[in-house]
Structure 1
Amino acid sequence: MASEQTVADALVARLRDWDITRVFGYAGDGINTLLGALQRSGAPEFIATRHEELAAFMACGHAKYTGHVGVCTATQGPGAIHLLAGLYDAKLDRRPVVAIVGQVVSTALGSGYLQEVDLHALFKDVCAQYVQTVFAPEQALMALDNAMRTALATSTPTCLIIPHDVQQAKMPEQLEHSHGVVPSAAVAARPQVRAPEEQLRAAADVLNAGERVALLVGRGGAGAVDEIAAVTDILGAGVTVSLLGKPVLDESAPWHTGVMGHLGTTASAHLMAECDTLLIVGCNDPWTEFYPAPGQARAVQIDVEARVVGAKYPVEAPVIGDAAHALSALLPMLTRNDAREWQRRVNDWVRHWDQLASDRRDVVGTGANPEAVVGALTELLPDNARVAVDVGSSTYWYARHLRLPRGVPAHVSSYLASMGCALPYGIAAKLDAPDRPVVALVGDGAMQMNGLLELITLADRWRQWPDPRFVVLVLHNRDLTEVSWEQREMEGNPRFPASQKVPEFPYAAYAELLGLGSARITESGQAAEAWERALSADRPFVIEAMVDAATPLLPPLMPDEKAEKVVDALSREDGDSPAEDRVGAQVSAERSGPS
């Protein structure tokens, strides 16, 4: 290391040692020295976003699609504050992200200086596992190494705060071997957690005693696909997945009931309501009201993280270990259940849901049917695509109507459920694999919150990609649809236009203005052709779908009293709402199938 290197230069070199390929951020005087070091080094690549929040979302998206640490940077004060939403997304969805944040010069700390914010207090919750200020050159590399290791070990965000003058300080050519100087290395490793045999045997006893076994699989089931299928076959079980677990399994399997929860399927609701035994694999889904009722089912839970076992449902047999290894070791202990009546019932629920979903996609209303628009992608989605899903009605239609080819990853802000995540996620995915197409599903509310900003980034960068395909579907209905339906369902209130109206905006025309491809559709029948055009385009493409806000956004098997509350709320809205009749028809159709 050259003696003329600054601390910033040394940190950038250390990021390369950690195999960091890009840093997402927004410029500011508090990190100008760091930016200069990135410019001199040429690597990692600096990715400029339109807002610091989007930099943090991109870092989180990078971590989600790659499994590696995402790195973001911002200046002090407002820049640091803007990182919080994306960092909380990483915290709640358990993804490794490191934020490198500038700070005012150390001699000014405590003076009420321009843009001075107590950054330790700001980040102490979101980066609870590790937040540290670097005050001396000798501390810098050790602190960065610990931030990286901690992010990897805990799957959470961490934060390094570096005052401007410390970034500029000269880095010693060699650290002195003395008291108080702590050497470090850019290395980390993950353990393999193997469940002990006594836990597996206790789990086998519970599962073998079950007659109506259900599996609930989350993203922790990734890598255990074959083992899950084998356990399902031996036990004659049915399988549902959390929203995060949707990409794990092939949803075309007859025992796969789809996503569980408020935005899930009727088949999954039946499975959870009628099973007598539950095997939870790598899942900590928060929709507890959609689990079996407490006392209804004996439960086994397999997870590599002991802290989540029993956290959402009373578990009789905890199994702490890697899912694939635990299920593989469990298989020889299971007794084959040759009575297949339960699995036949599961298959009937799945067929009924498939018919319900098809019928819903065929409903004709005002404009295009959003369920049909998203459903039309199923037959056209390339098998090497990456999918980014925003929060809102697009999440519901993704969960219910888009079947992913096996191996296609899809990500959404799950536990934080933050709008505006899809475009930064998608860009992070594309930057990591520019030879793979990306599809982002976005509502018009989320598009106006963050998406329009990152269309600018998309327009600026796409010519660098060997495969330029990046398709953005905008569900344009001038309404914050999910919240409108939540107000009706949870509060019994009619839609409040002053809070719910999304201003009109010409998304397709704006895409053309930026030099991107576009299509504007007003009928469901136009969706397939629009998807075909978008997925064969020679540049990123925006599909503006004028969709019907009256499409019901309701949980499966909704109780009568809740349905009545929704209809009452709709009846008090201005004008005749076609949604009233559609709610009644939907509830009736859900109950017409096999019990």
Structure 2
Amino acid sequence: MAQVADYVLQRLTEWGVESVYGYPGDGIDGLPGAFDRAKGELEFIQARHEEMAAFMACAHAEFTGEVGCCTATSGPGAVHLLDGLCDAKLDHQPAVAVVGRQERLGLGAHYRQEVDLERLFADVSEFCQMVVHPGRARHVIDRAFKTALTTRGVATVIIPDDIQEEDAQPSPPKKHGSVFSSVGWSRPRLLPDEGGLRRAAGILNAGSKVAMLIGQGAAHAEGEVVEAAELLGAGVAKALLGREVLPDDLPFVTGTIGLLGSKAGDNMIRGCDTLFVTGTSFPYSEWLPDEGQARGVEIDIDGRMPGIRYPMDAHLVGDSKETLKALLPLLRRKEDRGWREKTGKDVEEWNAMCRKRAGQHFGGTINPEAVAAELSPRLPDDAVLTADSGSGTNWWARHLKLRKGMQASLSGTPATMGPGTPYAITARFAHPDRPVIAFVGDGAFQMNGMAEMITVKRYPDRLSSPAPFVFCVFNNQDLHQVTWEQRAMSGDPKFPGSHDVPDIPYAKYAELIGLKGVYCDKPKKIGKAWEEALAADRPVVLEFKADPGIAPIPPHTMAEQGKKAAKAAVRDPEGAGIAVKEARQKTTELAEHLPGRHP
């Protein structure tokens, strides 16, 4: 007779799961045997660490639209899942975690590896239940998937080790207290009421300088977003998680917004009289209009979100695509296109400035901006792009111009270190014939990326297709983004004891374990290095020796942060060098706005 573990995998399969990311342990001893007996119907993908498995589950949801699934053993293995599941929770990706626990007889006995898993997972989970009887497995799994899909969040299923090995009960006993459930879920069609739509249309029609801000919630509404922008004469800025919603070659798309954003987007937001937000909870008030400057309309499928980042005049609770479809007939085309023309000119100026900044190399060292700038025109069609958290994310956000059909993602709201590499691995598992490129800093690569190269090696048949698969590592021996944040936000100089990282030969490490390594330390060879990596017949670690003195300069500098950065530079171990480089970059920006500079 089949065990509960076998039934669990069968039920996962009925919910459409094909891959489970995880790492084994004695708290889930029943599952490996069940995977073996499943004969490949459900694949177990072994990460190097449970945290990576949870990141992979989140990325699977991101890149496929399906529920991502991960598993871990009891105690420490379960604890390791938390960061990756937090990533899924805060970035609204449906994920189910199946977690082991010690046998029921030992619960509450201060037993080995005992952790109160219900409390541990309470914050990251929309649903968290332990299977306390073989007949409960069906209902708990069904509830987990229905909850994850409905809330676009995390659901956790806890199964004690002894339960896993008991005889399965696909149907619980028909008696008082038993519950029966089914596989199945359908996406709701959620629309605001007519009054809300008319109010929103009135606000948008009255505005003369409309700025649109979109996020991942608008991912399936590309056509409707473009039509709304055309009618309203609006420019469109993107939150980081909304990068793939619209291609960057549209002249009214300003790129990303915020600290990592574009000057064009910043100008648009600072000058608008109407803010139209769709599918994003972008939280940073310093990059939004001043209160009272702009009237606001916001669309979000979660009724808890509209109007909590900026005071809105119309709060539309609904699916972005369906709501826009209902709103479009109520919008009037604006005849005055001056605002849009200004936005388009700002985009051209910003792109020109980015090219100039990328071309500035100091003392023969590589400007990391050039790494992204040289890749952008070489991006293969249909590419999937991932990024880690760090200064490389700035160049990923600003210099890589996405075309239609490309996907791009990273850890948005959590902004945690570490997911860039497992995101890329998962993208390759999910889309084996598509090019995949990851941007990773040396700090994040040392933290966990180097270990996950062993995962790449472990699955050569799955991950080594002819399509490019590149991990671009910025080797600057510095926790670069944090170093600059310390300078600008705390007024403190860099502390080498906490911010320096060892100089590791990443490309040679790749060669050591059977991957391809490409190393570049000369500005003139950046393009050639990319071409070699993109033409490789196996996964590549592409290492650039990058200049740590290039600052991730925001679109506009806050006065207080500027003062703190100047104060820090006086005592900074790299003070003179970074001051010269930052001044050169700011001079480039100012030169773009000199009188007579543009016709």
Q: Show CA shifts across 1:78-117 (max 9, x none).
A: 1011100001001110111111111010011111111111
Q: Show CA shifts across 1:382-408 (max 9, x none).
A: 112211111101211111100112121
Q: Which residue is equivalent to 2:151?
A: 154
Q: Which residue is equivalent to 1:364?
A: 361
Deviates more, 1:193-202 or 1:368-377: 193-202
Match of 2:318 among 317, 321, 333: 321
Question: Which amino acid is 1:309 matched to?
Answer: P
Residues 557 and 587 in structure 1, CA contact (< 8 A), matched pair in contact too:
no
Does residue 256 of structure 1 match 2:253?
yes
How far residue 344 of structure 1 moved from its aligned partner, in angstroms, is 2.0
How far residue 547 of structure 1 moved from its aligned partner, in angstroms, is 0.4
Q: Which residue is equivalent to 1:23?
A: 20
Question: Which amino acid is 1:272 matched to?
Answer: I
Does residue 284 of structure 1 match 2:281?
yes
Does residue 582 of structure 1 match 2:584?
no
Q: Tell me, what secondary structure is at the counterpart of 1:306?
A: coil
Number of matched residues? 591
Q: Tell me, what secondary structure is at the counterpart of 1:579?
A: helix
Distance 1:191 1:172 in 2: 32
Q: Tell me, what secondary structure is at the counterpart of 1:130?
A: strand
Distance 1:205 1:576 in 2: 53
Distance 2:82 2:103 in 1: 22
Does residue 133 of structure 1 match 2:130?
yes
Q: Which residue is equivalent to 1:33?
A: 30
Residues 445 and 479 in structure 1, CA contact (< 8 A), matched pair in contact too:
yes
Distance 2:561 2:82 in 1: 36
State TM-score, norm by structure 1: 0.97
Q: Which residue is equivalent to 2:102?
A: 104
Q: Show CA shifts across 1:535-565 (max 9, x none).
A: 1111001110000000011211113443232
Residues 189 and 322 in structure 2, CA contact (< 8 A), matched pair in contact too:
no
How far residue 464 of structure 1 moved from its aligned partner, in angstroms, is 3.3
Residues 4 and 163 in structure 2, CA contact (< 8 A), matched pair in contact too:
yes
Question: Which amino acid is 2:76 matched to?
Answer: P
Q: Tell me, what secondary structure is at the counterpart of 2:155?
A: strand
Distance 1:74 1:561 in 2: 46
Q: Which residue is equivalent to 2:597?
A: none
Q: Show CA shifts across 1:307-365 (max 9, x none).
A: 11111110001122222222222222222211122122212211221121011100112
Does residue 340 of structure 1 match 2:337?
yes
Residues 219 and 245 in structure 2, CA contact (< 8 A), matched pair in contact too:
yes
Deviates more, 1:343-352 or 1:463-472: 463-472
Q: Show CA shifts across 1:478-525 (max 9, x none).
A: 000000000011001110100000111110000000111121101222
How far residue 306 of structure 1 moved from its aligned partner, in angstroms, is 1.4
Question: Which amino acid is 1:260 matched to?
Answer: I
Does residue 65 of structure 1 match 2:63?
yes
Distance 1:154 1:346 in 2: 36
Residues 8 and 167 in structure 1, CA contact (< 8 A), matched pair in contact too:
yes
Question: Which amino acid is 2:445 matched to?
Answer: M
Distance 1:360 1:369 in 2: 9
Distance 2:104 2:342 in 1: 67
Alignment of structure 1 residues 354-433 onto 2, 5 Å: 354-366=351-363, 367-433=365-431
C-alpha distance 88-486 of structure 1, shift in aligned 2 (>3 A): same
Provide the identity percentage. Answer: 43
Deviates more, 1:349-358 or 1:170-179: 170-179
Residues 136 and 172 in structure 2, CA contact (< 8 A), matched pair in contact too:
no
Q: Which residue is equivalent to 1:56?
A: 54
Residues 171 and 180 in structure 2, CA contact (< 8 A), matched pair in contact too:
no
Distance 2:591 2:218 in 1: 33
How far residue 445 of structure 1 moved from its aligned partner, in angstroms, is 0.2
Q: Which residue is equivalent to 2:536?
A: 537
Residues 468 and 540 in structure 1, CA contact (< 8 A), matched pair in contact too:
no
Match of 2:236 among 215, 239, 242: 239
Q: Tell me, what secondary structure is at the counterpart of 2:163?
A: helix
Q: Which residue is equivalent to 1:143?
A: 140
Residues 357 and 588 in structure 2, CA contact (< 8 A), matched pair in contact too:
no
Distance 1:67 1:575 in 2: 45
Q: Which residue is equivalent to 2:497?
A: 498
Residues 557 and 591 in structure 1, CA contact (< 8 A), matched pair in contact too:
no
Q: Show CA shifts across 1:218-263 (max 9, x none).
A: 1111122122222212221111111111111121222111110011
Q: Tell me, what secondary structure is at the counterpart of 2:168?
A: coil
Does residue 166 of structure 1 match 2:166?
no
Deviates more, 1:320-329 or 1:246-255: 320-329
Q: Which residue is equivalent to 1:223?
A: 220
How far residue 200 of structure 1 moved from its aligned partner, in angstroms, is 1.3
Q: Which runs of 5+ in 1 are unaligned?
A: none
How far residue 469 of structure 1 moved from its aligned partner, in angstroms, is 2.9
Q: Tell me, what secondary structure is at the counterpart of 1:161?
A: strand
Distance 1:575 1:125 in 2: 41
Cα RMSD, aligned residues only:
1.5
State TM-score, norm by structure 2: 0.96
Q: Tell me, what secondary structure is at the counterpart of 1:586?
A: helix
How far residue 182 of structure 1 moved from its aligned partner, in angstroms, is 0.8
Q: Tell me, what secondary structure is at the counterpart of 1:258?
A: strand
How far residue 591 of structure 1 moved from its aligned partner, in angstroms, is 4.3
Residues 516 and 542 in structure 1, CA contact (< 8 A), matched pair in contact too:
yes
How far residue 456 of structure 1 moved from its aligned partner, in angstroms, is 0.6
